[in-house]
Structure 1
């Protein structure tokens, strides 16, 4: 049994991860810590476990094997570096960090202390992502020329009694979040495109605010990949009824995903209708991969490189918008 401490209820997915851990046969929640003690004590009461206000006491507890981190993004580095130094395995909400410098500090601590690390990139394990990777590997679409991906919701659209929409007010705090829609919801298009198109070489971004928030709520990024492919990546907190969209276009065909619907067409098929493919099985969830890595040393599909590249694009997009220019990016000698 893997004993787990929950580190903060700050993120909106904290409750989801707690439930998944409680439902997992090999995970057991034993402690709660929160940078907001009142919120943490209430959560601990709900879960029926103790609350500990001292983070060092949590991490130094020999009865804790790993931590699930859903703390504010701006304290991810401090929390996770310390967790790794105490020898605790780490499962974390995206994004890993606001800057590449912080990201690399976390990954270096993970490596130095030989702890198991998984970041929650849930769309990476879904059937359509597996199909897309396989079709690209098989050359079924020819050479990839364009990836377009959109992930959006109405989380910042005001409604009665909720002036900020359904998202909590702290999701618009630039210090805690390091950004808005792009760094949070936009993570999904970014990490999918990175996985499908490979290393990036330049980023151009516009991070706008429709409702005047101090962070972006409606954003778009163009990523130029070393392969020559373009990524056109969109996200929004101000789009009602917007479906999830993923498009892969290549020299020999196209694959389209709308929500869970998938179809493809190849030049070799002439004017034939779009084909609805048989989808592969989903991979284990990120948390299941983490548990298997801890228990059996199993390799994870979601890797540190995925976390590093996501941070790389987010940081470059922020610079591009702030300075109004195309940003050329490079590689990490360790993680890319």
Structure 2
């Protein structure tokens, strides 16, 4: 609470320790949720039930079931929800999606996404990088091409685009508006965001599987969680989306 008072003073805005007072305030149209994920569901449902638009940090919730409950409430209350997934708006992501959709990489056998990656570069004093050997084995790692995005620069090699030399594509689509901008436009004029409900649920699905894998010390197939959710829906019709 003291941290909140201090920050409010720095920003020159009022501090209100009672969340319900904030949500009941008719002059407030929207809220931004930056709490730990374990508090997301409680706060977001309360905000939606008070007709507040919601912008929240990822992940939306710890389970797909909770995500569906949140979306059902948001849709029933007619408010706009946006989850901050800024990478989905970047030009290099949009280009990567285009490459995959057009089949330029053939059948995908692996997708590796990192914000920083030096796995192919040996550390100082070392002669060997830390990536497994199969990462460089053509038979094991790819079918028709490779897409690399480093420092927001794009390189593409595809058997469908010529002699399999690296190309640097030009004229790629510009980045889309950031999630916060899309949320505001959705509220103001109904512009449908490019970040979808499915994007949010899929992220939670991966997160839920990772947590379960850690708990049970085993590989988790995403189909396990999906089947569990489907079985729950049959037993409990109240969570049907």
* 1:137 has 2:30 as partner: no
TM-score, structure 1 normalization: 0.57
Match for 1:93 among 57, 71, 77? 57
- Residues in 1 aligned to 2:142 and 2:89: alpha-carbon distance in whole angstroms: 22
* 1:116 has 2:80 as partner: yes
Match for 1:264 among 144, 150, 156? 156
After the TM superposition, which residues 20-169 of structure 1 pair with which residues of structure 2 at under 5 Å, given as runs? Answer: 37-151=1-115
TM-score, structure 2 normalization: 0.78
Paired positions, count? 205
Aligned to 2:146: 254
Please state whether the residue corresponding to 1:150 is helix, strand or coil.
Answer: coil
The answer to which structure has the higher helix fraction is 2
CA positional deviation for 1:301: 0.8
After the TM superposition, which residues 318-329 of structure 1 pair with which residues of structure 2 at under 5 Å, given as runs? Answer: 318-329=211-222
After the TM superposition, which residues 232-311 of structure 1 pair with which residues of structure 2 at under 5 Å, given as runs? Answer: 251-269=143-161, 271-278=163-170, 279-311=172-204
- Residues in 2 aligned to 1:305 and 1:272: alpha-carbon distance in whole angstroms: 34
Q: Which moved more, 1:317-326 or 1:56-65?
A: 317-326
Which structure: larger Rg? 2
- Residues in 1 aligned to 2:18 and 2:147: alpha-carbon distance in whole angstroms: 50
CA positional deviation for 1:304: 1.6
- Residues in 1 aligned to 2:94 and 2:162: alpha-carbon distance in whole angstroms: 25
- Residues in 2 aligned to 1:93 and 1:84: alpha-carbon distance in whole angstroms: 16
- Residues in 1 aligned to 2:115 and 2:50: alpha-carbon distance in whole angstroms: 36
CA positional deviation for 1:144: 2.3
Match for 2:209 among 316, 319, 331? 316
The answer to which structure has the higher strand fraction is 1
Question: Mind listing any 5+ residue stretches in structure 1 that lack a counterpart?
Answer: 1-36, 154-231, 233-248
